[in-house]
């Protein structure tokens, strides 16, 4: 008798426990769903050809957001130019060259810390080194370099991860056929790991494209009457533009705010989607 | 032909090695420039002002205590949200979720991780702040609470992904053993699986804390920007100002080299040291637990 009561109690606690976990998962996911759909609806109404291709007018309360779109494109491109070669090379070093010693452990700690440093501290660093010390001024160049260093740990870790997944037999065969270490990497290992590397690069750049704090004092401008002409010009950028129009412009039409947010989300989540597609396709095709 | 190949190979190896070491260089450079710009503050600003309770730079009051407590309040609040939701979602995903729900839920968490913080801040201003204002009947919705809830959502993806990994690496034999002895699934989860993954879950929570302390834009936009020392528990429902938000909102207006500028860099040093501590602690914790697991399984 006592036993069945106990079993019933245990079953009841499992029933409530499972439902609690289901509720928690739902409460985590549903707001994200809801918010994305809400932005799509509210922002979609603002999207027009003019909105995407015209300069802002009336203190940004009308017209388009072209300079912010172009600026974010330039910044992402600049970040890629600096961070991709360096990050991929560093990932290759750690996966293929680094001996298991104290220096390598120090490199790992450095990467973990680079990944953890708050974005606004990167902004301070960029201001101190690139803007003032190297005298680049508030410019696309200074912002791109700052964002590039912030993006490095993501690219390094994913490159390393992708290279480590390539089976060792590939390297052994290449070496036994007389390939040097670099030939093995360049012709065999890196091409095999390429989808993983590209995924990592895109995820890193996606984060850089959406960041505001590192560009606040290194290159972002409130408003510029013309598009940037050189890497030493300051630029408008989508994330900073969202910050400005949602906090510092009185009487800002809500529709334009949602429209700008939607454009940034399409930019960022679009990159995310491409990365996911590349990863899934490579997984499906892989023969090892 | 052969020596040329050897030369180019050596050049490439050197380039790659230098790139590999670059991370150490960058961490050192970051610390160097923070110290170079920020440390003079200790000489230029009296310590009584630095550790005072007032942050009012126009009149040379540089008390960083209100900013530190602001960061602490918001971070603790964020963890109160992110801990149950993050760990709960991770347990749900790894232990009881059917595959088709997993296939929906995981991309949604990834989208949440990919949302730029300025977008979350915008949503905080547009949706969360008005909601809390009317719901809790407050004079303003831009409070520590709104910031904490947003920060919680920012920290959730970090916690979910690391905690789920930790749960997934618990050997199946543990669960099978518990179930074979007659434990229910629920008892197995809380009695065996979660305790076995506890150090991984703790790592996840620490990295979540690190993420929350360093978060800037979302917090700056929704916490109301009031650098005042809180007096009681009701501080959660009042505007605050975090360390990160102070740097972000004031650095644009100060002259390079002024005392105000130096103090902002000093706050940057505090943030740098905090994130260094959290990350080293978290990584040594996960390394130790990995070693222990290898010992147990061998």
Determine the Cα–Cα distance for residues B46 and A76; give it in Å rounded to an integer: 42
Predicted structure pTM score: 0.90
Q: What is the CA radius of gyration of chain B?
A: 24
Tell me which of A1-5, A220-224, B195-199, B246-250 is least confident.
A1-5
Nearest CA in chain B to A237: B118
pLDDT tens per residue, range B270-290: 999 999 899 888 888 877 767
Q: What angle do the packed helices B99-114 and A2-44 form, to 10 degrees?
A: 50
pLDDT surpasses 70 at B296 = no
Helix/strand/coil percent split, chain B, to 5: 80, 0, 15
What is the average per-residue pLDDT within B246-250? 91
Cβ within 8 Å, pair B109-A29 = yes
Note whether B192 and B174 are within 8 A (CB).
Answer: yes
Residue B293: pLDDT band by 50, 70, 90 thresholds? low
Q: Give the Å distances, CA to CA, from B210 to A86, A113, B76.
A: 26, 11, 11
| Residues of B in Cβ contact (< 8 Å) with A275 | none
Token output for A245: 């129009």
Tell me which of A54-63, A76-85, A114-123, B80-89 is least confident.
A54-63
pLDDT surpasses 70 at B295 = no
What is the average per-residue pLDDT within A213-226? 87
| A245: contact with B, CB 8 A cutoff | no
pLDDT tens per residue, range A227-244: 888 888 888 999 999 999
Which candidate in B118, B184, B249, B261 is best for mutational testing of the A interface (most A CBs within 10 A)?
Answer: B118
pLDDT at res. B26: 95
Residue B182: pLDDT band by 50, 70, 90 thresholds? confident
Cβ within 8 Å, pair B85-A217 = no
pLDDT at res. B139: 79
**What is the Cα A265 distance to its own chain's centre?**
12
ipTM of the complex: 0.89
Determine the Cα–Cα distance for residues A241 and A263; give it in Å rounded to an integer: 11
Token output for A204: 């890193």
In B41-143, where does DSSP find H-type helix? 41-44, 47-50, 65-91, 99-114, 117-123, 129-136
| Residues of B in Cβ contact (< 8 Å) with A90 | 16, 19-20, 22-23
Burial per residue of A64-95, b for 16 or more beta-carbon CB atoms within 10 angstroms, e otherwise: bbbbbbbbbebbbebbbebbbebbbbbbbbbb
Token output for A178: 């007389």
Phi and psi at residue B5, to the nearest 5°: -60, -45
Cβ within 8 Å, pair B217-A272 = no
Q: What is the CA radius of gyration of chain A?
A: 24
Cα angle for residues A23, A24, A28 (degrees, 5° grid)? 115
Note whether A146 and A214 are within 8 A (CB).
Answer: yes
Note whether B68 and B243 are within 8 A (CB).
Answer: yes
Residue A139: pLDDT band by 50, 70, 90 thresholds? very high
Determine the Cα–Cα distance for residues B112 and B117; give it in Å rounded to an integer: 10
Q: What mean pLDDT, rounded, does chain B reach? A: 87
Cβ within 8 Å, pair B37-A117 = no
- Shortest Cα distance from A139 to chain B (angstroms)? 14
Which candidate in A88, A213, A249 is best for mutational testing of the B interface (most B CBs within 10 A)?
Answer: A213
A241: CB partners within 8 A, 6+ apart = A60, A65, A68, A260
Of the candidates B21, B92, B215, the beta carbon closest to that of A25 is on B92
Q: List A residues 24-43 in contact with B (Cβ-Cβ < 8 A).
A: 24-25, 27-29, 31-33, 35-36, 38
Q: What mean pLDDT, rounded, does chain A reach? A: 89
Q: B137 vs A102, which has greater pLDDT?
A: A102
pLDDT at res. B1: 44
| B33: contact with A, CB 8 A cutoff | yes
| B158: contact with A, CB 8 A cutoff | no
């Amino acid at each position: 008798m006592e036993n069945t009561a106990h079993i019933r109690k245990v079953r009841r606690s499992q029933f409530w426990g499972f439902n609690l976990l289901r509720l928690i998962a739902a409460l985590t996911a549903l707001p994200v769903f809801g918010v994305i759909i809400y932005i799509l609806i509210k922002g979609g109404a603002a999207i027009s050809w003019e909105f995407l291709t015209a300069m802002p007018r009336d203190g940004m309360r009308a017209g388009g957001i072209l300079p912010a779109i172009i600026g974010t494109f330039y910044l992402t491109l600049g970040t890629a130019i600096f961070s991709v070669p360096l990050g991929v090379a560093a990932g290759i070093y750690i996966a293929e060259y680094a001996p298991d010693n104290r220096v390598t452990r120090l490199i790992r700690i450095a990467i973990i810390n680079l990944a953890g440093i708050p974005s606004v501290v990167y902004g301070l660093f960029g201001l101190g080194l690139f803007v003032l010390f190297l005298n680049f001024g508030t410019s696309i160049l200074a912002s791109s370099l700052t964002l590039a260093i912030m993006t490095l740990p993501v690219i390094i870790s994913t490159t390393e991860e992708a290279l480590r997944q390539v089976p060792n037999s590939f390297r052994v065969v290449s070496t036994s056929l007389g390939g040097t270490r670099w030939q093995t990497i360049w012709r065999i290992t890196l091409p095999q790991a390429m989808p993983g590397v590209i995924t990592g690069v895109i995820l890193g750049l996606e984060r850089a494209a959406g960041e505001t704090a590192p560009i606040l004092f290194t290159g972002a401008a409130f408003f510029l009457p013309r598009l940037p002409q050189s890497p030493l010009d300051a630029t408008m950028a989508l994330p900073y533009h969202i910050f400005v129009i949602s906090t510092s412009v009185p009487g800002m039409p809500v529709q334009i705010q949602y429209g700008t947010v939607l454009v940034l989300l399409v930019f960022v989540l679009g990159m995310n989607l491409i990365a996911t597609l590349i990863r899934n396709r490579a997984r499906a095709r892989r023969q090892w | 032909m052969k020596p040329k190949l050897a030369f180019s190979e050596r050049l490439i190896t050197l380039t790659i090695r230098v790139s590999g070491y670059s991370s150490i260089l960058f961490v050192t450079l970051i610390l160097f420039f923070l110290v170079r710009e920020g440390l003079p503050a200790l000489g230029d600003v009296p310590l009584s002002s630095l550790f005072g309770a007032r942050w009012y730079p126009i009149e040379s009051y540089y008390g960083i205590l209100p900013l530190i407590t602001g960061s602490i309040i918001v971070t603790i609040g964020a963890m109160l949200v992110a801990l149950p939701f993050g760990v709960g979602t991770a347990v749900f995903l790894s232990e009881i979720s059917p595959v088709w729900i997993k296939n929906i839920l995981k991309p949604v968490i990834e989208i949440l991780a990919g949302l730029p913080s300025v977008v979350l801040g915008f949503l905080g201003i547009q949706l969360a702040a008005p909601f809390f204002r009317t719901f809790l009947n407050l004079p303003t919705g831009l409070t520590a609470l709104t910031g904490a809830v947003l920060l919680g959502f920012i920290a959730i993806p970090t916690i979910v992904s690391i905690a789920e990994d930790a749960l997934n690496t618990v050997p199946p034999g543990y669960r099978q053993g518990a179930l074979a002895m007659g434990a229910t699934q629920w008892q197995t989860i809380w009695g065996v699986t979660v305790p076995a993954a506890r150090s991984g879950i703790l790592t996840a929570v620490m990295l979540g804390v690190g993420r929350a302390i360093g978060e800037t834009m979302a917090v700056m936009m929704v916490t109301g920007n009031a650098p005042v020392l809180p007096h009681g528990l009701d501080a959660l429902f009042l505007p605050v100002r975090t360390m990160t938000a102070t740097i972000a909102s004031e650095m644009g207006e100060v002259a390079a080299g002024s005392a105000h500028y130096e103090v902002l860099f000093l706050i940057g040093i505090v943030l740098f040291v905090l994130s260094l501590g959290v990350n080293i602690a978290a990584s040594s914790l996960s390394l130790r637990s990995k070693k222990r697991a290898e010992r147990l399984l061998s």
